[in-house]
Structure 1
Amino acid sequence: MQDFLKSVAKVMGLVSTLALWLAGLGLVLMTTIVFAQVFVRYVLNDSIVWSEPLAVILMGWFIFLGAAVGIREGNHLSFDVLILFIPEKLKNLFFSLSDIVVVAFGFGMTWYGSELMLAGWHIKIPSLGFSDAVNFMPLVGGGVLMMLFSLERLARRAAGLPTARFAETSIED
């Protein structure tokens, strides 16, 4: 079982790295788009009509992808303060409880984000020319990754393998 989970950790590590790179790329693109809009608006006295909606979509992607990676790395959504005061024997229970709550939260993001995405599928964003559903895709993608990464953490803990906590060493070790 541990060998299987180590293989899964390698795949999840690749997914996490890809998500982090995409989030970084989204941040750079959003920054570039906003800078271009400010330049065009105040220097050329014109406007890029598609800059704001595209920047918001990119922001959604890098926020939710980054949050999911933060969960996998043990840097996001946890019992940070409480963990310092409880006995060592209870810490894994609280880490597992935290991961279960994050799975439920990720499921809610995926479920309700999918409903919003489907509801907006037929609506077009005028300045971009594509479906309003893209505004909710980051919510769904981030929710799925949060569930996957939290389930991976639960499985590793159940098998006696380490999980990343508070930016400790990588879990692929």
Structure 2
Amino acid sequence: MSASSTSATSRIVEAYYRSIKIVMAVLLAAMVVLVFGNVVLRYVFNSGIAISEELSRWLFVWMVFLGAIVGLREHAHLGVDSFVKLLSPTGRKICYALSHALMLYASILLTEGSWKQTVLNWDTTAPASGLSVGLFYAAGLVFGVASIPILLHDLYRLFTGQVSTDDLIAISESEEQVPATSSHANGNDRR
């Protein structure tokens, strides 16, 4: 693959993830407007938006699943690395491969189940909005379809030696323990 096609591909991928973030921001803004507007209408005008609760719940589910795609791609998901830190680089690679294989399996199961639920509920309409309930379950389908290539790419990078030993333990600097300064350690902390 040439450098120009790799660069074009990475630009397309970056645009895809940027568009997901924009959609998440729009979903969050719509949720705020629906919920806040409904609260104001209920307490001030003694009325409300009938579909506000249902639609805001659906928007929240979609926002969470889209955020999970971005989090997976940026390796921002939660993890406990106490055990992995103690392992050798080979042990860390084995844990990395095992965890990604398990996530891949879970994503495949989620995709399959979401597909079945989407198809099963496509003709069912939601009580307040009248929208297809299949749209609700499609959020899991979108996550599964997007997460599988991310996990496969991570495994490919591991097996081709493109993952550094630092990448095998994903921890941000804010999570690391800050060593005590000499004045604090010696009890010379003056207040």
Coarse TM-score class (shorter-chain normalised)? 0.7 to 0.9
Structure 1 segments of 4 or more deviating over 6 A? Answer: 1-7
CA deviations over 1:98-148 (Å, ceiling 9, x no partner): 111111111111110111111111111232222111110111111111212
CA drift at 1:88: 2.2
The 3 A distance-change label for structure 1 pair 14 and 166 is: farther
| Sequence identity (%) | 24
For 2:172 and 2:2, locate their aligned partners in 1 and report how far apart those are by CA, in whole Å: 22
For 2:6 and 2:110, locate their aligned partners in 1 and report how far apart those are by CA, in whole Å: 26
CA drift at 1:7: 6.4
**Residue 74 in 1 paired to residue 58 in 2?**
no
TM-score, structure 2 normalization: 0.76
CA deviations over 1:10-53 (Å, ceiling 9, x no partner): 54333322222222221222122111111111111101011111
Name the structure 2 match of 1:101: 102
For 2:123 and 2:37, locate their aligned partners in 1 and report how far apart those are by CA, in whole Å: 30
Higher RCO structure, 1 or 2 (CA under 8 Å, sep 6+): 1
Unaligned stretches of 5+ in structure 2? 174-191
Map 1:19-58 onto structure 2 (within 5 A).
Answer: 19-58=20-59
SS at match of 1:153: helix
Name the structure 1 match of 2:159: 158
Q: Which has the larger radius of gyration?
A: 2
Name the structure 2 match of 1:143: 144
Name the structure 2 match of 1:171: none
Name the structure 1 match of 2:66: 65
Matched residue type, 1:144: V
CA RMSD of the aligned region, Å? 2.5
Unaligned stretches of 5+ in structure 1? 169-173
TM-score, structure 1 normalization: 0.83
For 2:78 and 2:98, locate their aligned partners in 1 and report how far apart those are by CA, in whole Å: 11
Q: How many residues align?
A: 168
